[in-house]
Each structure stands twice: as structure tokens, then as C-alpha cells.
Amino acid sequence: MSASVKSLLSTLTLRGPHEVLRGNLGIAGLPGVVYTPGKGLNLPAVAFGHGWLTGVGNYRRLLEHLASWGYVAAAPDTERGPIPSHLNLATDLLTTLDICAGVRLGAGNISVDPKKLALVGHGMGAGAAVIAASQREVAAVAALYPAPTAPSAEALAPKIDAPALILAGATDIDSVSSDALPLAAAWGEDALLRSLDKASHNGMVEGRRALAALGAGKHEPKTERLTRALLIGYLNYTVLGDKKYKPFADPETPIPHTQLVDPHAPDEDIDHPQKLPVLQLIQALRK
């Protein structure tokens, strides 16, 4: 493990150098939020899709973190009910990118480079980000603890030219709630799949949420911090082209507290955690 990778990872867990501003996508006709650096022209932008039965408020620190590192981070606050449309959320993510790239933000001193766009999501929002990426060219996609969607994200992945970062919790990477393995396998060589040690798919969700009462997972501060760092490092390389961050997109580089996963490995080489009944119920409701 190189000292430089450890140092970069430690730095990326911290807030970036930029002042952060918060705005409302509703002004442009779409419920949601947008976080931006205090100023800057031709900035990179991220459209973020939330998970099932969560809203953008459950990802405030993640969105603020992106903005502090120089990204315009916008998230539609739609499809929050128990039977959401993944296709509609994907459409809203594309609309979000259009808003970011099409108008001056802040006091008119913030703009987005249309060639520096990324689609990111968590859970079902990760699948929605993949669906959106199949309809529009972007610089990168990040699927954070992806859950199954309809239409199937892995069925669309081979059509996407953008590289992808796929993160999964080591405790549930092969559970009914995770789509990480089939998504990475379908994406091919342009996808990088990492599992986070002792992490679960719900660990990055901030604050209280409806599913916590059902025992479907609690917030994990370490998972949240590591996820943010891995995401920023990956985007800095793939979207901004900063070669310093190449280790975060390199399948040969180990990163502390994570494991590189080969989605084509024999089934017996992958641990199979027990599938919780509540997650089976959740999956049934999604269908």
C-alpha cells in the first residue's frame, strides 16, 4: 500500500477547500436541491439519485462534500413513495443535468461544463443513474450500493460507454438487496467494483428513515466517510482527468478498508450473507 494512496484517502475524507452554497431545484420546476461551490466557471456537475424511501435530506453531507471539492451536486427529490418509478427517477436525473448545464447558478457566477457531467446514485437511485446513463453521454457513473431496478440496470449497462465505479457493502454484496455483482459483470472492463469492509448498503444514509424501524440497517459513519472519499477520488480522475487520483480508478491498486471484487469469480469464492426477511419483503414490494 503506497503512502500516497493512504494520504489521498485521508485527505478526501475531509471537507474540501470550497465554500458551499445551497439552492433549490424547485426554482427550475423540479423538486430537489443543488449544492455548489461559492463560485467558479465550467465546473463539473453530479446528478444524484436517492435510495428507496429516502429523500435528498438523507444525503446532505454527501452533497455538501461534493460541492466542497468543487462539484455542482444536484439531487431531485422525487419518487419517494413505497412503489417508485425507477424510469421516472432516471428522467428526473437527466433533467437535473440539463438544469445544471443550462443555467448560471448562484448569483450568476457559477457555471457547469457540459463535458464534465456524472451520474451518481445510491440503492435504487444507483440503478436510476445507470438507466439515465444509457440515454445520455456522461463522463462517469457511480453506483453506490446499487439495488435492483425495473427496467434492469444490468441489461442497459453494456450500452454505456462511460466508466463506472460500483461500491458494495461487504456484509451484503450478494444479498437480495444488492445488484452490484450482476451490474459489474454486465458493464465489463470499464467497471470497477469495490466492497467496503464491514459496511452495509444502508450505512451511508444519514439521519432517520422509515426502514430503520423495520431493522433494515442503520447509519454507519465510517461507511459514509469512506464512500465519500472513494467517490471524490474516482470523479477527480475520470471527470476532471487529474492523474494524481488514478489509484481510485485503477483495478490493480488496493485501497485501505476496501476489497477489489471480480464479478466473474466462481460463485463459491464469494461470501453469501444471510438474506434478511425484511429485505426479501422490500424486494417483493419493488417488483
- Each residue's pLDDT tens digit, 107-143: 788 999 999 999 999 999 999 999 999 999 999 999 9
**Which uninterrupted H or E stretch holds 219?**
none
Report DSSP state, residue 105: B
| Residue-wise pLDDT tens digits, 140-173 | 999 999 999 999 999 999 999 999 999 999 999 9
Q: Give the burial class of 270: count Cβ atoms within 10 A of its Cβ; 0-12 exposed, 13-18 middle, 19 or more buried.
A: middle
Residue-range domain boundaries for the chain: 3-286
Reported pTM = 0.90
Whose cell is 485501505? That residue is 256
Whole-angstrom distance, CA of residue 167 vs CA of residue 190: 14
105 or 234, higher pLDDT: 234
Fold of 3-286: Rossmann fold (3.40.50)
